[in-house]
Structure 1
Amino acid sequence: MQGLRWGRALALGIVGVLGGGAIAASVGSILGGAALARRAVTPAVVPESPVTVIRISEAGGSPERRQVHLRGADADLPGRYSFIFDGGAGHARLGEVIAIEGETVVRELVAVDRGALQAETRGRITGWWFTAPEELGYRVDRITYRTELGEADAWIVHPRFARKRRWAVHVHGRRALPEETLRGVIPLARSGITNLVISYRNDPGAPPGLGGRYGVGFSESRDVDAAIAEARRRGAERVTLFGWSMGGTACLVAATRGVHRALIDGLILDSPAVDWSALLRYHATAQSVPAPIAGLGVEMLSRGLVTGGESGGLPIATLHPETFAPELTVPVLIHASTADTFVPSAGAERLAELRPDLVQLRMQPGAEHVKLWNVDRSGWEAVTRVFVRALPHQPWRG
């Protein structure tokens, strides 16, 4: 509400000076910028459900080989995905695209794990695939860890043959859940690494952040710090950070500016948000918001005129490749895609250009945001496994 009150007050001040169309334009710009800023940092109460089930059929007359007919955004993506419906209560797994019939996409229906999938069901396609850590086949402990805001839920996934004192912390993206990161646990567990999969502020099972708003990865980095402290308390001497989307921002901040960065031996980032000013402006353009209004929204977040996760404003100007690059001291593997329409790969590419000595960039063609594993699971996991096994025993601080 702080930003809205500020916007209204400033608008009233403008009314006293200007008249006619100038007033309307100025007020519209201010309120438009505030609205854009709020959307960027507000968690979704109910995730969007842009995909509709048209019908379910049997392939070749076999009841064990079912197909689902879909319409909507992302229905035709290549690869294998989760379909989440009934507000998260329902979950199905979708295989590859079998056919495209006009506006309808036919996919293999691999399984319905929970809920009743039927015609007219609405939901969303995600890259998660796994619904619980136990599905990975490893021993799991469900714990809480202490953050600056209170206790938050987490999972410990134990490898079958643990490498002594070696851990990883997995951090999901904006408006996602910890289940998103389970794909990344697999190659690390096979490499003997103990995995701590965390929730963070504003998640179910975690405390709310300031005003219930996101901190674009900056505020959340302190929860990553707290998770590293928890791993250390349990015996970790080396910690690899694995971040997805905004979770990638949080990992970058923790690795370059966090209180426990000396324990970090490397970063793995999938579709990371590396340049927040450019990202916010990109989304504004996609919504046909004029550039001056987009710039005003970014300024409002930076100054704290619209509440984000930090009381004094979000340091958006420091969350871009040119500031992260000189601060990096450990190897980084980035999975990115030029087909990503949510977080363009330009920021990741720029970071790799600035630090070729530390940053390995794997570009996955034809994959959408945080859905690279789904398009090429074997390649994604192989590169990740090679990278994590090659990390130095002592974090490099060159």
Structure 2
Amino acid sequence: MVSGNGRRRWVWITGLAVVMVLVAATGIGAWFGSEQSIGVVHYGTGNAEVLAVRGDLVTLAQTPETGKPGTYWLEWTGSYAMLGDIVSRAPGRVTRKVLRGSTPSVGTPGHFGNVPPGDPQVAWGIGYTEIMVPTELGPAPAWYVPGKGDTWVVAVHGQNGRRKAELKVLPVVHRLELPFLDISYRNDEGAPPSPDGLLHLGDSEWRDLEAALRQARTMGARRFVLYGTSMGGQVIGQFLGRSPLAGLVDRVVMDAPMIDVGMTAEQGARNFHAPAFIGSLANQVARWRTGVDPDRLSLIRHPPRTRPPLLLIHTVPDTEHPIQEAYGLVAVGRRLGWEIRFEPFEQGAHTEAWNVDRARYERLVGDFLTPSAP
């Protein structure tokens, strides 16, 4: 028989073990969250399989990705296809029409995604030149598509993204005959790494955007339109708040931007079914690892000093940067007299407004950019 002292000792030991497990789990969760936020990732895995081909119709194994409505791309070794909306469904299968590119063979494994393949020539048949932007860390590649006039559109991709993610906006920019510069920045493939090998969520990447504008000015640019998706929006926001070149920006387009790093981290915790405070702890771990103050990276609490007219596009179901971030920025705009045109899209995952309604997206961007056209 266990004595009263023995039982108390056993309860105490059990309680201590539970606390230690909870502390360890919280610490692991916070570190994992910080890695999701600031870790550098280069993608390249497949997520789709071609089951059947009939003319210009391609049947894919149905997954959460391939079963989404809208316009997407399938890439495989050495080739690609732009696929239109779903034309038919069957158990475990979806059929889509090839709109552009090649038709894959049955059994082809590939990557189904929401961004164009390759470069401007591959994606849209638009000629370009690759230039090197001299950043403070070394040369970073950028795609330059020439146009008329001295107002350039400069595009900034998101966290662990690639330049090709910004090519969705190129057709409308090209129709307006505006020069287009699609930049890379530190930690991108082909660009120099950051000194610590980690993302800084816009806190240092904005300097690479500034370097790109300086390079563009040597090539004849005088004014700028900035276009940014996801973390690219935060990069632009930091540039507008901290760069002496911010006054050269006529207007800005942000698509599903990272407006508030704290809100983004809390959403990330919810995505993994963890309590919101894990997101806050993850931000503190990220701060310890990088020296970046995540509280400073809120365009809601710290709006930029330079505030050109902004077209803000955001899909309502976004589970990476929740639309509440956009609502917060719109409220700030009203208070400060900042001209923000907010356009929510009722469907589409993160940065998929173009994919679910290309016609509306291009009309919005075209109308917004037209005053800047020469």
Is the pair's TM-score, using the shorter chain for normalization, greater than 0.5?
A: yes
Partners of 2:43 and 2:165 lie apart in 1 by: 17
Residues 1:95 and 2:84 are matched in the alignment: yes
Partners of 1:379 and 1:285 lie apart in 2 by: 31
Sort the Cα spacing of 1:368 and 1:292 in 2 relative to 1 into closer, same or farther, 3 A: closer
Which residue does 2:303 correspond to in 1?
A: 325
Residue of 67, 74, 85 corresponding to 1:76: 67
- Counterpart of 1:218 in 2: which secondary structure? coil
- Counterpart of 2:316 in 1: which secondary structure? coil
Residues 1:21 and 2:18 are matched in the alignment: yes
Partners of 2:116 and 2:127 lie apart in 1 by: 19
Sort the Cα spacing of 1:266 and 1:341 in 2 relative to 1 into closer, same or farther, 3 A: same
Q: Deviations over 1:196-245 (max 9, x none)?
A: 11111111111112332211122221111111111112121101111011
Q: Deviations over 1:56-113 (max 9, x none)?
A: 221xxxx3x2322222122122211112345xx5533211101121232221233554
Which residue does 2:112 correspond to in 1?
A: 124
Kept after mapping to 1: 8 A contact 2:267/2:276: no
Note the residue ranges of structure 2 that are not aligned, 5 or more in a row. 1-14
Which residue does 1:15 correspond to in 2?
A: none
Partners of 1:293 and 1:249 lie apart in 2 by: 22
- Give the partner amino acid of 1:248: G
Sort the Cα spacing of 1:392 and 1:155 in 2 relative to 1 into closer, same or farther, 3 A: closer
Q: Where do 1:233-244 residues align within 5 Å?
A: 233-244=218-229
Which residue does 1:167 correspond to in 2?
A: 152
Sort the Cα spacing of 1:258 and 1:48 in 2 relative to 1 into closer, same or farther, 3 A: farther
Q: Where do 1:131-150 residues align within 5 Å?
A: 131-135=118-122, 136-150=124-138
Partners of 1:101 and 1:198 lie apart in 2 by: 41
Which residue does 1:152 correspond to in 2?
A: 140
Using structure 2 for the length normalisation, give the TM-score: 0.87
* Aligned-pair CA distance for 1:332: 0.6
Residues 1:385 and 2:366 are matched in the alignment: yes
Kept after mapping to 2: 8 A contact 1:66/1:110: no
Sort the Cα spacing of 1:360 and 1:223 in 2 relative to 1 into closer, same or farther, 3 A: same
Partners of 2:100 and 2:341 lie apart in 1 by: 36
Kept after mapping to 1: 8 A contact 2:34/2:282: yes
Residue of 58, 67, 76 corresponding to 1:67: 58
Root-mean-square deviation (CA), in Å? 2.4
Larger Rg: 2
Residue of 277, 285, 290 corresponding to 2:262: 277
Count of aligned positions = 356
Kept after mapping to 1: 8 A contact 2:240/2:304: no
Residues 1:315 and 2:293 are matched in the alignment: yes
Partners of 1:293 and 1:41 lie apart in 2 by: 15
- Give the partner amino acid of 2:322: P
Percent identity between matched residues is: 24
Moved more, 117-126 or 250-259: 117-126
Q: Deviations over 1:235-283 (max 9, x none)?
A: 2110111101111111111122223212111111111111111111111
